[in-house]
Amino acid sequence: MAFDIDMIKEVYNQMAERVDAARDVVGKPLTLSEKILYNHLWDGKATKAFTRGKDYVNFAPDRIACQDATAQMALLQFMQAGKTQVAVPTTVHCDHLIQAKQGAEIDLKRANDVSSEVFDFLASVSNKYGIGFWKPGAGIIHQVVLENYAFPGGMMIGTDSHTVNAGGLGMVAIGVGGADAVDVMAGMAWELKFPKLIGVKLTGKLNGWTSSKDVILKVAGILTVKGGTGAIVEYFGEGANNLSCTGKGTICNMGAEIGATTSTFGYDDSMERYLRATDRSDIADEANKIREYLTGDAEVYANPEKHFDQVIEINLDTLRPHLNGPFTPDLATPVGELGPKAKENGWPLKVDWGLIGSCTNSSYEDLTRAASIAKQAVDKNIKAKSDFGINPGSEQIRFTAERDGILKVFEDLDATIFTNACGPCIGQWDRSDKKGDEKNTIVHSFNRNFSKRADGNPNTHAFVGSPEMVAAIAISGRLDFDPMNDTLINENGEEVKLDEPKGIELPPLGFDVIETGYVEPLKDGTGVNIVVSPTSERLQLLTPFEPIGTEIKGAKLLIKAFGKCTTDHISMAGPWLRYRGHLDNISNNCLIGAVNAFGKKTNFIKNQLTGEFGGVPDVAREYKAAGIKTLVVGDHNYGEGSSREHAAMEPRHLGVAAVIVKSFARIHETNLKKQGMLGLTFAIEADYDLILEDDTFNFLDLNEFAPDKTLTIELVHADGSKDTIKVNHTYNQAQIDWYKEGSALNLIKKQNVS
């Protein structure tokens, strides 16, 4: 059911020849990232050296993984492509649509009741098209992928931004929009701008309270949420070899939080140990045969400044544990320094919840390290001051942790063990102590902490830390607690100190599981009938988008977004996950989280036709009904965060023709292109300030839309005055063809027919 060793052997068999050829054409030693990229060129052996950050290159990924929230739209699109089977091994994982509330058993049953229509749809489409299906409760996509499918030197794409987690096992694994996945499922190449490369040299060894999570929390503090944009982050050095494989996974996982295309590590003993522990010794044996090809060339790591576009060095010996947040994962503060910072900023010091797990941090090592802290609370008679919630990453990890008494430790602290699913990490949390307008603080070992991310409440201040630090902070109930220096008073009134965490890298008795939750698809699924009710509120078959065309005149400003505008602001998760398979219904959340630059309110924009103010989706629908195209304007890193193409499809569905911003997050920019829209950037950033609330837009030279050609837009202001601005774009000819056809999918279909 799991990996395909023959496919992996094929990848390895061609690797030496292809990498050697690439080294010749590049004329330099190669990083690991380059070796993997050049080994996966769609056209075979490299014949030219690609320019990082510039050349668009076609790749042939080995695998695809989709989670339930994004798979719905991806598969609805794939169904339009006219194929009988997916061309590349693909899996679907049901993890996002399960709300955390009372605990795994009850929550899973409720999810199966509430979302059966969607799960049944995903199961039957998977069965029909040869896709492996992981049932609700089987686990979180990235943990399941790490345990079953990731392999050193491989390339995969996934319809989730944290697909990058598989870099922990030496892959180049990249989060994409569903439309990209559909291309590859349909047997086409996958296109990516050849990434820049950031090298992170790790020296020393983690010790005491510091964990792998702190490496990426530190890197996020250095690079910020957009510092990795367009780049692969490659970790190397003796410090890297000293990390566990799952610890590497955590670091790669949160590479999404710095906007990196992906992150990866060279194959080493920790990966070999993990492969053998997860019943994949045959992959380890194969990998050992080509070990030097599964890591960067020695010269690269000896002189990294010559081979990477940027180099960062971190000494693990002296790295301190961090807590990052609130509201952004790059606001890094060493533990122990949070007190004054919190007081200054009005962040509540009292911690209400400690949440451990998610795809980021639910390895055996993570759980044992956190449990070693939790156990001390029980043994030293300390009453935990915060509530605890645990969401294991997979049924395999849950089963093993239960067998080994790890979950019991948390249960002794009255922790709620949630389903093996995303739960509070994606707003799927019906929080028992609802906070309303009251500012409150939570700590978690997840990856993202945007406003409203965990519980939908803008007043919740979420801080990200390692599982063991989350455990310690939650036991103390205080954000400014420093377990390395501070003491706690136990129930006997005694002063006690928490000892350093102790973890076990891999289960001494091996991993175990009885019911994995995996469903193998039929060999021939042509007889499977897929039914989508026309009255369903959860699922809707897609209608192809009409081309927007090259005549955009008289377009109105829909919203000028102010400040951070992530995919959560554009297409919120939480309760809206319910409509991920129904484009018209989910479009009612379009941009409702974006702050309008005029008035600084969310979901409150002016309708230029009536002068009235209303919600973004309502006003957009009124423009659409009047046959008027609209524009969205945004700031830097617009669309950062998730890979969900809903953030592009919704505005497209509601009649937005173009999104003009200071800069884009990579996946979102591609998603806009795929859906046949214009994703443009201000040639002069300050022109953002020229856009006024009542503006009308005329595109002056869109009929000359061509690669590398700046476009010109006339702004007509309400008083009749005009400004002309230049906008840049990164469309290549193929992407311009998508635009002209109305979407990339329209083009695939056309090519299928012809």
Question: Could you list the residues that contact ligand F3S (CB under 6 A)?
Answer: 95-96, 140-142, 160, 162, 358-359, 422, 425-426, 446-447
Calpha distance 680→399 (Å, rounded): 49
Q: Which residues contact 5 (CB under 8 A, 6 or more apart)?
A: 282, 283, 286
Angle (nearest 5°) at CA 395 between 477 and 352: 15
Dist. CA 731–CA 423, nearest whole Å: 37
**Residue with smaller CB distance to ligand F3S, 95 or 741:** 95
Cβ-in-10-Å burial (0-12, 13-18, 19+) of 595 comes to buried
Give the DSSP letter string of 722-741.
Answer: EEEEEEE----HHHHHHHHH
- CB 704, min distance to ligand F3S, A: 42
Find how far residue 188's CA is from the centre of its chain. Answer: 23
**Amino acid letter, 259:** G
Report phi then psi at 94, rounded to 5.
-90, 100
Find the shortest distance in angstroms from Cβ 699 to ligand F3S: 38
Distance CA 8, CA 286 (A): 8
Q: Which amino acid is at 612?
A: E
Q: How far is the CB of 426 from ligand F3S (least distance, A)?
A: 4
Q: What minimum distance in Å lies between the beta carbon of 4 and ligand F3S? A: 23
Q: Which CB atom, from 46 or from 426, has the smaller least distance to ligand F3S?
A: 426
Nearest distance in Å: CB 168, ligand F3S? 13
Radius of gyration of the chain (CA): 25
SS (H, E, C) 556-616: EEEEEECCCCCHHHHECCHHHHHHCECHHHHHHHECCCCEECCCCCECCEECCCCCCEECH
Give whichever of 37 and 355 is closer to ligand F3S, judged by the CB atom.
355
Minimum distance of ligand F3S from residue 35's CB (angstroms):
27
Active-site residue set: 95-96, 160, 448, 642, 644
Smallest gap from residue 666 Cβ to ligand F3S (A): 17
Q: Which is nearer to ligand F3S, 72 or 603 (CB)?
A: 72
- Residue 517 Cα to chain centre, angstroms: 23
Angle at 551 between CA 545 and CA 553, to 5 degrees: 110
Please, which residue, 95 or 468, has the CB nearer to ligand F3S?
Answer: 95
Please state, in angstroms and rounded to a whole number, the distance separating the CA atoms of residues 215 and 247. 10
- Name which of 140 and 619 has its Cβ closer to ligand F3S: 140
CA distance readout (Å), 239 to 206, 472, 679: 8, 25, 40
Whether omega for the bond prior to residue 424 falls within 30 degrees of 0, making it cis, is no
Q: Taken in order 100, 104, 109, 111, is the CA torsion positive or negative?
A: positive
Q: Count other Cβ atoms within 10 Å, centred on residue 387.
A: 20
**Shortest CB 253 distance to ligand F3S, Å:** 7
